Amino acid sequence: MSDHVVDINESNAQALLIDESFKRPVLIDFWADWCEPCKNLMPVLEKLAVECGGAFLLAKVNADEQQMISGQFGVRSLPTVMVMKDGQPVDGFTGAQSEQQVRELLGKYLPKPWDLLLEQAQALCAEEDFGGALPLLQQAYKESEARADIAVVLAKAHIQLNRLSDAEVVLAQIKMADQDAEYNNAIAKLELAQQAGKAPEIEALEEQHKANPADQQVAYLLAVQYSQHDYYAEALALLYGVLQLDLNFNDGEARRIYTDVLAVLGKGDPLAVEYQRKMYTLLY
């Protein structure tokens, strides 16, 4: 059949009904040729199996031809649909059901969109591509309504990217009931990063900038140092302030560095999107 829809017989029942259910939900459809409601239901199930792209396996069992399997599952009427998860039937229904009803049933067991985003982001984090993981984590964080485990992974990505204030904001919003070992680990990482301090040249320029915020040359030099030490938010904020006064500051070098930082962040990064939009307002 396909990776999403299979016909079940005695030779593959163990592998596809039981073993496979430890990897993803298996929706078993018990049907027969003489059953008119079965014929109406099956296209709906097949459509959803294809639409979900393998998030669950549709396992079709012809109850007349596979009486032993039907008997083992206690099937007494057709159509009967069961959800298998971790080797056990956990849900199901008998009789005709609408597409919406089937969707609601599946929705209880299929991974949510934010779980898939989290999985993709964690794979990128494992490869130390934290910049690539960040937009996925921010989307998952938003769509899951700030779920705690996603928040912790997002905060750790911020820490790896030297966005310590962003990490602090995310961690501060995690409720006490959700503050588990992973949360404590993230807090420890944040505190270590905050205590590490900045390079001496950055600290010296920060003092000069604090003493004279109107000195655009100092602001520019500090932004350069920020960009070289991965403090991208701070670099862009300073460079934007410089460019607001002079788009061609330092023979265009300020604008070039601004553009380089946006390129390093990548088009999908929310910080890059924000400062790209700001640049457009200056240009147009």
Q: In the Cβ-directed half-sphere of 74, how many Cα atoms lie within 13 Å?
A: 5
Q: pLDDT at position 199, please?
A: 84
Query: Is 52 among the residues known to form the active site?
Result: no
Q: Are residues 185 and 258 both part of a single domain?
A: no
Q: Are residues 184 and 204 both part of a single domain?
A: no
Look at residues 77, 107, 137 and tell me which one is the last residue of a structural domain: 107
CATH of the domain at 67: 3.40.30.10
Look at residues 83, 107, 131 and tell me which one is the last residue of a structural domain: 107
Instruction: Give the pLDDT confidence of 159-187 residue by residue, as tens digits.
Output: 998 889 899 999 999 999 999 999 999 99
* Higher per-residue confidence, 2 vs 167: 167
Q: Are residues 208 and 168 both part of a single domain?
A: no
Instruction: Give the pLDDT confidence of 191-249 residue by residue, as tens digits.
Output: 988 877 788 889 999 999 999 999 999 999 999 999 988 889 999 999 999 999 999 99
CB distance 158 to 188 below 8 Å: no
Phi-psi region of 163 (alpha: psi -120 to 50; beta: other; left: phi over 0): beta
CATH of the domain at 241: 1.25.40.10
Which residues on adjacent β-strands are paired with residue 177?
none
Distance CA 81, CA 167 (A): 45
Q: Are residues 9 and 98 both part of a single domain?
A: yes
> Per the residue annotation, which of 16, 28, 38, 82 is the catalytic one?
38
Q: pLDDT at position 1, please?
A: 52
Distance CA 273, CA 279 (A): 10
Q: Are residues 172 and 266 both part of a single domain?
A: no
**Total domains present in the chain:** 3
Distance CA 141, CA 131 (A): 16
Average pLDDT score over the chain: 93
Distance CA 65, CA 15 (A): 19
Q: Are residues 25 and 101 both part of a single domain?
A: yes
Q: Are residues 142 and 225 both part of a single domain?
A: no
Q: Are residues 213 and 135 both part of a single domain?
A: no
DSSP 174-211: S-GGG--HHHHHHHHHHHHHHHH---HHHHHHHHHHHH
CB distance 42 to 50 below 8 Å: no
Query: Is 125 among the residues known to form the active site?
Result: no
List the structure tokens of 37: 């409601």
- Give me the helices (H) in the chain, please: 13, 36-51, 67-72, 99-107, 113-126, 130-143, 148-160, 164-172, 181-196, 200-211, 216-228, 232-245, 253-265, 270-283
Q: Are residues 22 and 78 both part of a single domain?
A: yes
DSSP 247-280: TTTTTTHHHHHHHHHHHHH-TT-HHHHHHHHHHH
> Per the residue annotation, which of 35, 90, 146, 273 is the catalytic one?
35
Q: pLDDT at position 24, please?
A: 94
Measured over all CA atoms, what is the biggest interatomic distance in the chain, rounded to whole angstroms? Answer: 87
Look up the domain containing 63 and give its range.
5-107
Q: Are residues 83 and 135 both part of a single domain?
A: no
Q: Are residues 261 and 228 both part of a single domain?
A: yes
Look at residues 196, 228, 243 and tell me which one is the last residue of a structural domain: 196
Mean pLDDT of 260-283: 88
Alpha-carbon torsion, ordered 277, 213, 234, 142, to 10 deg: -60
Q: Which amino acid is at 17?
A: L
Q: Are residues 92 and 124 both part of a single domain?
A: no
Q: In the Cβ-directed half-sphere of 165, how many Cα atoms lie within 13 Å?
A: 4
Q: Is the pLDDT of residue 28 over 60?
A: yes
Instruction: Give the pLDDT confidence of 85-138 residue by residue, as tens digits.
Output: 999 999 999 998 999 999 999 999 998 889 989 999 999 999 999 989 999 999
